[in-house]
Every structure is written in structure tokens, then in C-alpha cells.
């Protein structure tokens, strides 16, 4: 039985191995900031895992890609007057370009039109058939094309025009009668419940675990997992019946298996995924259907699902009709790619919708990246305080003297606590708390810098004191740079390069107090980490002055 087999597989897996996934993104439209959010979350998890377990980096997996089959894709291609395969290629390339621009470090970019994916889907289908989980039936019901799913009466409502729509998405439905293959979902309901309850953090945040448990209180209906080829030709053929194509969601979910190497020998060494990142709108597919499919095929479900909420724009839901869909590449021309990454991970929280605002992103970037972080490095490396352009030696007696100051004690206390605090926050996917903790230390360091006033130390006999202040400040910057690598990899790399930190000395194990005992030259690169964002100039039109009326005598 799966419960015993799964536990055996789970216990034999290396705890250092990491397999993280984004959902694959549907190519019916261009990518927006919500898609990027899934990708930067997963990228930060992957980079953190490699920071903590560098030896496992070569074997760790991070997958993303595009979902390219189904009715919506056929319709989108037709509306653009291009062949469907050309349309898929064009949109998929836009996602690939987006992820490249934002330094998403995936190890596999998968498309559901890839040849190895077709093989995986058909092998998986055969495994479901062998388990007795599939049967053929004449099916009739309300079908929602935009959501690619059949809906029960309880999942419908009438909109203000009297049209039946999905109660969840608001998309219209149409009555459909056709022959389908069905999956015996109820047969695996108890197993799915066991999987969810078997680990407290199986589904995080906890609010989404509760949603799934509420959903499982009612008997699960069997679900249609194929479509007539006469209606949905753009899809993968059902192996045993070429007149049917595989339901787009079953096809899409198998992508994670394809990435692991399924069905080739040895894929089980890379299965199951460590954590799968997904938006709350596809929770049911990943939290109910996906584990049920896997259990039916004799495979272990994922160890964890990380579910995130959506992004609004200036407090409103993103939509084409409102014209407020945020294009990440367009915004990056204003705020840079690293600035957008930082904002999403700084402001986003998984349990609640985030709010994108140009005013907010500008304020955060200027206050934290430019003024707090970047300015501190610039002052340490500038010719006024550091004419020799070095990471200076810190003499122990000077360090001891500095350590007696209250402002230094506070800074060093926060620095000492920083690695453990940030480790906890990363493991709980609270990226905003990682940033909070780093910024708190940097604020304390700026306070230390102002209080010690190194610009006043101009006498030869004060040189060692000046060097100690610069050296301690640079040490805080070094540790901050290491910790922030998963969040802003390019900016952190630039900082560590400037401080001449060796590439193999940028790991989590290097987060100990390391004051320079031997002087080393700063790299000959720009010390400006982040330039302030200048708000667009708004021309103010002055109202003409009102003429004064002469008083009548």
C-alpha cells in the first residue's frame, strides 16, 4: 500500500538533495508580475539550498516552463492568426527571456510539447490504467473552457446577466456531452487525506491546508481526464485510444515527473519534489488531483506544497480590461531587474495578496537598497576615508575599544544573531523577514558609522582606529551580502566582488565574524550598489493669477 511504500522512499532520500518547482505557465497570454513572483520565490529557495548545501548543488533540481496544450491555446493561436505550434513557441520564448532577465537559475525549462514529456504522460497514463483507476463513460456536464474543467451545480452561479458561470472564477460555462475517460478520484480520497495530515507543514501556509481539508469533507466526484480529439486536437494522444487527448491538467502535472527522468531507470532517486511552489488559484489541482494521480500510479506525492497569494495593483485586481497588468520587463527598465526581485520578495507574503505600487517600490528601493545598503559600501570604499582602497586590518586592541561602545555592542549583537534568524526565516519561506533582519543590522551599522565619525580621524596616530571602523563595517556588509544572495544575487555578487571575497568563501558556513588579519585590496569596480530611482518629473501648470478688482468709490 502507498502509505508504507511512501514512507520507505521518504526515509531513504538524502536530506541535502533539493527538487523545487514552479507551476508551468499557461501560454494563452504573455507573462506578468504574478508569474514572475512564483519564479523568484522558487529561485530564492533553490539558491538558499545551494548556499547551505553546496555539495548537493550539482544534483539539485529547479524546474519551470510552459503548459502548451488545450482548447484555450487553440483559440489564442487562432485569434493571433498563427499556427498553434508557432504561437506556443513565441509565448514560451517570452517566459524563457523573462526568467533569463531576472536571473532565475532553473536547471530545466520544460515545455509540454517536449518529446520526453509526451513519453512520460503516456507512460503515466498506462500506469493509471494498470491500477484500475480509469474507466470510459459518456459524460455530460457544465464545462468551463477558460478554466479547462467540468463543474458541478454547486460550483456554479448566475452573473448579473443571468449567464451561468463558475462561482470561483466567474468564467462562463457551456453544457457539454461527450465520451471521456474518467479517473476514480473517490477511491484515493482517504490516501490524499492521509498525505495531507501526515505532516504538519505539508501544505503551507496553514490557511491553505485548512482549505484542502474542508474540500475533502465531502465525497470527491470522479473526474474526466480526457477530451475527444475532435474537440481538443492540440494535446497528447491517449495511448489506448487515439480518438481522445489527455486532459490538459493531467498532462501539465506530469511535467514534474518528466523533469525527474520518469519513466527512465533511476528517476526515483530524484523523486519526489522537495517543495512545489504554486498560486492559490491552482491549489485544488496540486493538493487533491496531483497526489491522487501519483498514489494511483504507485508513486510518492510531493513532500510539501508552498502556496502563495496573488498581486493586486494599487489595490485593484490585475486584469486586461482595467489595463493594469504589470509587465515585469517594462517595469525593470525603471527599477532594474534586481530592484523588482527585491520588491517582490520584500513585500510579498504567501498567506495574503500583495499590492504592487510604483510609489511603494520606488520608496523601498531608495530607502533600503540605495541609502541604507549601497551608501554604506560607498562611504567605506570612497577615497576620502579609504584612499588606499583596501579591506583594512583590524587590530585586536582597537576592536576591543570599539566593542565597549553601546552602539557597537548593539550592532555586534544583531550581527551575531543574524545567521540563525535568517536560516529560520528562509526555511519558513519568510523572505520579507530575512530582509527585515538584514536591514535592521544595516541600520545599526549606519548608526555605528555615524557615532564613530571616521571622517574626523585624520591624524596619523588615529589611522588604526579608522581602519577598525572601516573593517568592522565591511564585515557587516560581507555577511549581509552572503545572506541576501538568494534574494538579489547580482547585487550581492557585486558587493562581495568589491570586498574581494573569494567565490568559494560565500557560503552559509562563512557567516562567522571574520575581521581582516591581512590587508586585501578592494576590487577595481564601482562601489555604487544601487543608484537612487529618480521619480519622473511632472510638469506643474500654474494657474494664472486672478486680476484684482478695483473697489468702487
The total of structural domains in the chain comes to 2
Count of residues in the chain: 553
Residues 206 and 290 in one domain: yes
Of 283, 308, 333, which residue constitutes the final position of a domain? 308
Q: At what angle do helices 406-427 and 431-452 cross, to 10 degrees?
A: 170
Cell of 140: 455530460
Taking alpha carbons only, the member of 525, 462, 453 closest to residue 490 is 525
Taking alpha carbons only, the member of 279, 276, 252, 362 closest to residue 32 is 279
Provide CB contacts within 8 A for 146, sequence distance 6+: 72, 169, 171, 172
Residues 388 and 517 in one domain: yes
Q: Please spell the DSSP secondary structure of 213-277, one letter per residue.
A: HHHTTSPPPPEE-EEETTT--SSPEETTEEEEEE-HHHHHHTHHHHHHTTTSTTGGGG-S-SEEE
Residues 277 and 392 in one domain: no
Taking alpha carbons only, the member of 309, 322, 320, 315 closest to residue 358 is 315
Structure confidence at residue 3 (pLDDT)? 47
Rounded to whole angstroms, the Cα distance separating 231 from 225 reads: 14
In a domain, 343, yes or no: no
Q: Pairing state of beta strands 61-67 and 25-26?
A: parallel
Structure confidence at residue 541 (pLDDT)? 40
* Distance from chain centroid for Cα 432: 13
Residues 265 and 389 in one domain: no
In a domain, 490, yes or no: yes
- Domain containing 474 — which CATH number? 1.10.730.10
In a domain, 167, yes or no: no
In a domain, 240, yes or no: yes
Other C-beta atoms lying within 10 Å of the C-beta of residue 407? 16
Of 259, 290, 308, which residue constitutes the final position of a domain? 308
Residues of the chain with pLDDT under 70: 1-15, 536-553
Cell of 224: 474526466
Residues 375 and 304 in one domain: no
| Residue whose C-alpha cell is 520579507 | 432
Residues 410 and 262 in one domain: no
Structure confidence at residue 550 (pLDDT)? 45
Taking alpha carbons only, the member of 454, 486, 487 closest to residue 473 is 454
Structure confidence at residue 392 (pLDDT)? 96
Interval 151-168: pLDDT, tens: 878 888 888 888 898 888
Of 254, 275, 308, which residue constitutes the final position of a domain? 308
Residues 104 and 202 in one domain: yes
Cell of 86: 508557432
* Distance from chain centroid for Cα 184: 33
Structure confidence at residue 539 (pLDDT)? 42
In a domain, 467, yes or no: yes
For 537, counting Cβ atoms within 10 Å of its Cβ (0-12 exposed, 13-18 middle, 19+ buried), the class is exposed
Rounded to whole angstroms, the Cα distance separating 309 from 299 reads: 28
Rounded to whole angstroms, the Cα distance separating 475 from 396 reads: 15
Distances in whole angstroms, Cα of residue 178 to Cα of each of 122, 134, 182, 422: 22, 16, 12, 54
Residues 412 and 523 in one domain: yes
Residues 299 and 418 in one domain: no
Interval 449-501: pLDDT, tens: 999 999 999 999 999 999 999 999 999 999 999 999 999 999 999 999 999 99
Cell of 103: 536571473
Structure confidence at residue 194 (pLDDT)? 97
Cell of 116: 520526453
Rounded to whole angstroms, the Cα distance separating 411 from 440 reads: 9
- Element (H or E) spanning 446, and its range? helix 431-452
DSSP-derived 3-state class of residue 509: helix
Residues 504 and 413 in one domain: yes
Q: Pairing state of beta strands 19-21 and 203-204?
A: unpaired
Residues 195 and 273 in one domain: yes
Structure confidence at residue 395 (pLDDT)? 96
Residues 300 and 399 in one domain: no
| Residue whose C-alpha cell is 570612497 | 382
- Domain containing 240 — which CATH number? 3.40.50.620
Domain span at residue 110 reads: 18-133+184-308
| Burial call 417-429: b when 16+ CB within 10 Å, e when fewer | ebbebbbebbeeb
In a domain, 412, yes or no: yes
Structure confidence at residue 6 (pLDDT)? 40
In a domain, 76, yes or no: yes
Paired residues of 26 in beta bridges: 67
Rounded to whole angstroms, the Cα distance separating 110 from 91 reads: 13
Cis preceding-peptide flag for 205 (omega within 30 of 0): yes
In a domain, 10, yes or no: no
Amino acid at each position: 500500500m502507498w502509505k508504507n511504500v511512501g514512507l520507505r522512499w521518504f526515509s531513504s532520500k538524502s536530506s541535502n538533495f533539493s527538487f523545487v518547482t514552479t507551476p508551468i505557465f499557461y501560454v494563452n497570454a504573455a507573462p506578468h508580475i504574478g508569474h514572475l513572483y512564483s519564479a523568484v520565490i522558487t529561485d530564492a529557495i533553490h539558491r538558499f539550498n545551494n548556499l547551505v548545501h553546496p555539495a548537493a548543488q550539482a544534483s539539485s533540481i529547479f524546474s519551470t516552463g510552459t503548459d502548451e496544450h488545450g482548447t484555450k491555446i487553440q483559440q489564442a493561436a487562432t485569434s493571433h492568426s498563427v499556427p498553434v505550434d508557432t504561437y506556443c513557441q513565441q509565448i514560451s520564448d517570452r517566459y524563457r527571456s523573462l526568467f533569463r532577465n531576472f536571473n532565475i537559475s532553473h536547471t530545466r525549462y520544460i515545455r509540454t510539447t517536449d518529446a520526453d514529456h509526451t513519453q512520460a504522460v503516456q507512460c503515466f497514463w498506462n500506469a493509471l490504467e494498470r491500477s484500475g483507476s480509469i474507466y470510459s463513460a459518456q459524460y455530460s456536464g457544465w464545462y468551463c473552457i477558460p478554466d479547462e474543467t467540468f463543474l458541478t451545480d454547486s460550483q456554479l452561479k448566475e452573473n448579473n446577466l443571468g449567464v451561468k458561470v463558475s462561482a470561483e472564477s466567474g468564467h462562463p460555462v457551456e453544457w457539454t456531452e461527450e465520451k471521456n475517460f474518467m479517473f476514480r478520484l473517490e477511491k484515493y480520497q482517504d490516501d490524499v487525506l492521509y498525505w495531507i495530515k501526515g505532516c504538519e507543514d505539508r501544505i503551507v501556509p496553514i490557511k491553505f491546508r485548512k482549505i484542502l481539508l474542508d474540500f475533502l469533507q465531502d465525497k470527491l466526484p470522479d473526474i474526466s481526464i480526457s477530451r475527444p480529439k475532435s474537440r481538443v486536437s492540440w494535446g497528447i494522444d491517449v495511448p489506448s485510444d487515439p480518438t481522445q487527448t489527455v486532459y490538459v491538467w493531467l498532462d501539465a502535472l506530469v511535467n514534474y515527473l518528466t523533469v525527474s527522468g520518469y519513466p527512465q531507470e533511476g528517476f526515483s532517486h530524484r523523486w519526489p519534489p522537495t517543495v512545489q511552489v504554486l498560486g492559490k488559484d491552482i491549489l485544488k489541482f496540486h493538493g487533491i488531483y496531483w497526489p491522487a494521480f501519483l498514489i494511483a500510479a504507485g508513486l510518492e506525492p510531493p513532500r510539501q506544497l508552498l502556496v502563495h497569494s496573488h498581486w493586486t495593483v494599487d489595490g485593484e485586481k490585475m486584469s486586461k480590461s482595467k489595463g493594469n497588468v504589470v509587465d515585469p520587463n517594462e517595469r525593470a527598465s525603471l527599477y532594474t531587474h534586481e530592484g523588482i526581485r527585491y520588491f517582490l520578495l520584500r513585500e510579498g507574503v504567501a498567506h495574503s495578496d500583495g499590492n504592487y505600487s510604483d510609489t511603494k517600490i520606488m520608496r523601498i528601493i531608495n530607502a533600503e537598497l540605495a541609502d541604507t545598503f549601497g551608501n554604506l559600501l560607498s562611504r567605506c570604499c570612497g577615497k576620502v576615508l579609504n584612499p588606499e582602497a583596501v579591506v583594512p586590518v583590524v587590530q585586536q586592541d582597537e576592536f576591543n575599544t570599539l566593542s565597549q561602545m553601546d552602539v557597537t555592542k548593539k550592532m555586534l549583537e544583531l550581527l551575531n544573531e543574524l545567521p540563525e534568524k535568517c536560516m529560520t526565516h528562509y526555511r519558513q519561506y519568510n523572505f520579507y523577514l530575512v530582509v527585515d533582519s538584514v536591514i535592521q543590522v544595516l541600520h545599526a551599522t549606519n548608526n555605528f558609522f555615524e557615532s564613530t565619525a571616521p571622517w574626523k580621524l585624520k591624524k596619523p596616530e588615529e589611522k588604526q582606529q579608522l581602519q577598525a571602523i572601516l573593517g568592522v563595517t565591511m564585515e557587516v556588509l560581507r555577511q549581509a551580502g552572503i545572506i541576501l544572495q538568494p534574494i538579489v544575487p547580482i547585487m550581492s555578487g557585486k558587493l562581495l566582488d568589491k570586498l574581494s571575497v573569494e567565490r568559494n568563501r560565500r557560503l552559509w558556513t562563512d557567516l562567522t565574524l571574520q575581521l581582516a588579519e591581512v590587508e586585501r585590496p578592494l576590487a577595481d569596480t564601482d562601489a555604487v550598489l544601487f543608484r537612487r530611482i529618480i521619480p519622473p518629473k511632472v510638469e506643474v501648470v500654474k494657474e494664472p493669477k486672478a486680476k484684482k478688482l478695483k473697489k468702487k468709490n
